[in-house]
Chain A
């Protein structure tokens, strides 16, 4: 039997659900680094970086209910971060690492294991696939750092 995914009707990346409060979807769109877009995988979804965004729980949209104090009388800290609190901004390093991770996972540029990210970027450029230049800039600002230069799975004996 053959294996085929379902037709183009199923979007690859989860769309923001309309049940979420408007502020959350605003936060998702705010977290998109300006001016960055990878080529879209077929079928065409929204910019995948925006959709991936940062990790948020669905329960963040529910109103926080405070329980009463425990039997020992000590009050626990907040049970969940309150809605309306600004998401922890990613440090520059983490944002760049996330960018490189997404470059590794993009299927258009071929397999990513066994070669460094810079080698993969140059191969994609020579094949005419137009890899994003931001990836190269990030790789050039961190030479010698294996977290940046090597692929996501470089520690595994693949």
Chain B
């Protein structure tokens, strides 16, 4: 789509200079609303237990699950609490899942002297065939067995199970269902594009990715390519940087262990990287509205929801009002199309504790259980909310993305009530040199790769815009 538009115009490169220059105006921003207020934290108090999040999660999700259960298994099924169960009686129970994993890193086990254990080395997946599923509701918990796949599910999922309790005290599951998708508002159709990039990885020390980043900036600002490409670039109405703007290497902790007199003159690695980021953002925001989301390695808080980066770090770029520093997760309505996305911590955490391999599949699964990060207080750091759980989908987005995945993936997912969601797994730019271009009219996504000409591919190197 992007390149087809470009190919239609006549080639003007390598022609004698003309008196008139073609100028392309960027598509104006028709409507933009940032709906991430539920992810902003005002005054923060950490003197609370995490029980509040789980209680509010179950309370909020219960009505959705009850209606789904009645749709799946008929209106006549009985929905009971765990304390009302009778042995042998078939009924439906709604609760939160807990997965007891022997390989899950447990600080208590590590520091317990009687075990004399060395700290466990980090693994890519912590699943084990012996994982046990337990369903918890407000008052009790019960072990689950039967036709439910323990390896796929993770702690913190709210679901409804159909089955009966056995004499052994365990619940035999015949079927289970999730909350599925929330209702969706229809999207208008506007012929604009949004560019999604994640994992710029500045400060990582690799020169390869800097070339790619500069090419990306030049394409978006219309300084590269023929008039055709420039015209197409003018249709990009927004750029969203989905996390990990700084590289993992900027987080080296060597200076903490050294004595103060040795580290006095050394600068944190992130200072240089943030300066580079500021210059890149300056070039970008001079031309196009940019939304910057923090990621795992960025200088902001660690727990979800991550708060926006502080504007004092970008003295050059904040002069432009087109630069928006936003939270992770990020939710906004751009030209009538609802975007919702994270920087990838939720998906990679589920990847570690579940047997699902494909990040796009995990993204689809979080959409189906109607929760952005079910593992949130358990294995992923989270702020102790008490009033409500902001990670539950209030309504269905049109574009749902997650950043920093190993490779690009995109899919249109159809919900039970004709919801249509474009799922995008935005790849890590520092390793794949690929960004995603989303067409708001057709809700299709196309990868653009900016790999340098050192690669082995058959392409023309450079832009790689040709299909």
Contacts and interface: CB of A to CB of B under 8 A. Distances in A.
B139 interface: yes
Interface string A112-132: 011100010011001101000
B50 to A, nearest CB: 10
Contact of A2 (B48, B141, B388): B141
A136 B59 CA distance: 21
B52 interface: yes
A130 to B, nearest CB: 13
Interface stretch (B81-89, B105-113, B223-231): B81-89
Q: Is the interface of A mostly helix, strand, loop or mixed?
A: loop
Interface of B: 47-49, 51-52, 55-56, 59-60, 81-86, 138-143, 169-170, 384, 386-388
Interface stretch (A3-11, A16-24, A68-76, A139-147): A3-11
Q: Is the interface of B mostly helix, strand, loop or mixed?
A: loop
A114 B140 contact: no
B325 to A, nearest CB: 30
Given A2-B169, A111-B49, 16 more contacts: A1-B169, A3-B140, A4-B82, A4-B83, A4-B140, A5-B83, A5-B140, A8-B84, A42-B84, A107-B139, A108-B138, A110-B55, A110-B56, A114-B47, A123-B386, A158-B49
Given A3-B141, A42-B81, A127 B386 contact: no
A2 B85 CA distance: 13
Interface string A31-61: 0000000000011000000000000000000
B86 A7 contact: yes
A126 B389 CA distance: 13
Contacts of A3: 140-141
Contacts of A126: 387-388
Interface size bracket, A side: 20 to 34
B413 to A, nearest CB: 29
B142 A2 contact: yes
Nearest to B169: A2
Nearest to A115: B386
B59 A127 contact: yes
Contact of B85 (A4, A107, A129): A4
A113 B141 CA distance: 21
B293 to A, nearest CB: 28
B332 to A, nearest CB: 25
B48 A115 contact: yes
Top 10 A-B pairs, shortest CB-CB distance: A114-B48, A2-B169, A110-B55, A111-B51, A2-B142, A127-B59, A115-B386, A123-B387, A2-B143, A111-B52
A138 to B, nearest CB: 21
Contacts of A5: 83, 140
Given A2-B169, A4-B169, A115-B386, A42 B83 contact: yes
Contacts of B86: 7
A115 B169 CA distance: 35
Contacts of B52: 110-111, 114-115
Contacts of B139: 107
Given A123-B56, A127-B59, A114 B386 contact: yes
20 contacts: A2-B141, A4-B82, A4-B140, A4-B142, A7-B86, A8-B83, A42-B81, A43-B84, A107-B139, A111-B55, A113-B51, A114-B47, A114-B48, A115-B48, A119-B387, A123-B387, A126-B387, A126-B388, A127-B56, A127-B59
A116 B82 CA distance: 29
Interface in A97-117: 107-108, 110-111, 113-115
Interface string A147-158: 000000000001
A156 B334 CA distance: 48
B133 to A, nearest CB: 12
B329 to A, nearest CB: 22
Contacts of B138: 107-108
